[in-house]
Amino acid sequence: MAPQLDPYFKKVDELSESFIDRLRKAVAIPSVSAEDERRPEVVRMGQFLADELKKLGAEVEQRPLGKQPHKEHLDLPPVVVARYGNDKNKRTILVYGHYDVQPAQIEDGWATKPFELTIDDKDRMFGRGSTDDKGPVLGWLNAIEAHQKAGIDFPVNLLCCFEGMEEYGSEGLDDFINAEAKKYFKDADAVCISDNYWLGTEKPCLTYGLRGCNYYSIEVSGPGQDLHSGVFGGTAQEPMTDLINVMSKLVDNQGKILIPGINEMVAPVTEEEKKLYGPIAYTMDNLYESLGSKTGIFDNKEQTLMARWRYPSLSLHGVEGAFSAPGAKTVIPAKVTGKFSIRTVPDMKPEAVTEAVYKYVKDEFAKLNSKNKLNVYLQHDGKWWVASPSHWNFSAAAKAVKQVFGTDPDYTREGGSIPVTLTFEEATGKNVLLLPMGSSTDGAHSINEKLDRRNYIEGTKLLGAYLHYVAEEKMT
């Protein structure tokens, strides 16, 4: 029997303005984990969440994680853990989200103040963190409140794990999850994470795979200090020239990784797997809308989606130490650091990828016969993840999507990395589901980040419906 969800849905609609106000209050807290001076704001956001959960009757703890590695003057923000319900006859679902956000300044090109929720005439709600990940996190709180005020029994025991360092590498979280897997999280039957996005803008999806991410730095140094190009140009071997030479050898403009051995690590694509891509509701126009241009590498859906999910990619991210301000400055930098990442997929081993990167970068630098010095190092890595979409956790979510949106979901992978997904799977031994709220055009990490009102309110319905279906789904 399908759960009777109409009273819950009706109550979500009735409470929608207060739910938006809750999001408005959350967005107003500039909880930027990457900026030292805003660490108190991250802590304040964690306190806001804890207070909201307590008002709803949850048992809440703020667990300290200690000092931040390499920045011992800073405390890591606490992990907010909460339990709502303790009925031995109900399933227990563990949900994860994060309450920190990416940096944002109006000078970056925002059309609105990034830490003020601004709603336009298309019901798009702009603000840093609106979709990544404050809206989805608050969706769980909204679901609890709507059940309470509709007088509906909450169908599961809900465990919450909300962290404040996701946008800065989730430092300290893996150790915490591993330590609590057989303690605080011991009775979890499944895990649900809402920290990714629909493939397009109209059709919901369930995500069963993620690429990993190895992030590298290439440091080239020579002179003892920055030099004037009018005085020393043509007399010194310049670190920037060497760095650009090396970085230009990493990937071509068609996205092909040029490091030997990398592509050979990738698991072959089966014919059965290829067939999954045809039915997915996605067009090249969806890509162009997200890009804001028609600069895609491929001209068809299947190749585009495989390049995004199924194959590795290498992206160049920037150069530290170089002049980057507006105007002209004739400086020769004494040391520059280039940054790039490789998105990994099955069956790539992070250690093997790093070994191949080190060898290739050193070999290419050696070909320059430079008197400058090279240092290449790994900043961080995170493994790829793939789950079984036939698990009862996924089938329950699929029924919820059908109930709320009137359509079957697409089953997708995701090109980005959410390392905590694999950590939860390995630590708890339970199936992990990615159940997104936002859409592909939300602009997470970018300027003008937004969450559509429809996605937020219908997404709150979806999270609640999922809990009802997962409570009764037969284990497979």
List alpha helices for 292-419, DSSP H.
Answer: 301-305, 350-366, 392-405
Residue 73 labeled ligand binder: no
- Neighbour-count burial for 75-105, b at 16+ CB within 10 Å, e otherwise: bbbbbbbbbbbeeeebbbbbbbbbbbbbebe
Residue 343 labeled ligand binder: yes
Residue 228 labeled ligand binder: yes
- Angstrom distance (rounded) from CA 381 to CA 35: 21
Please count the residues of the chain. 476
Give the active site residue among 133, 166, 171, 219. 166
**For residue 454, what is the enclosing H or E element?**
helix 453-472
Residue 175 annotated as catalytic = no
Residue 36 annotated as catalytic = no
Beta bridge partners of 84: 158
Amino acid at 68: Q
Residue 380 labeled ligand binder: no
Give the active site residue among 41, 52, 100, 449. 100
Place of tokens 């031994």: 429
Question: Is-contact 302 277, C-beta < 8 A?
Answer: yes
Residue 51 labeled ligand binder: no
Q: Look up residue 130 and give its DSSP letter.
A: I
Known binding-site residues for substrate equal 195, 228, 330, 343, 417, 445
Known binding-site residues equal 98, 132, 167, 195, 228, 330, 343, 417, 445
Known binding-site residues for Mn(2+) equal 98, 132, 167, 195, 445
User: Which positions are catalytic?
Assistant: 100, 166
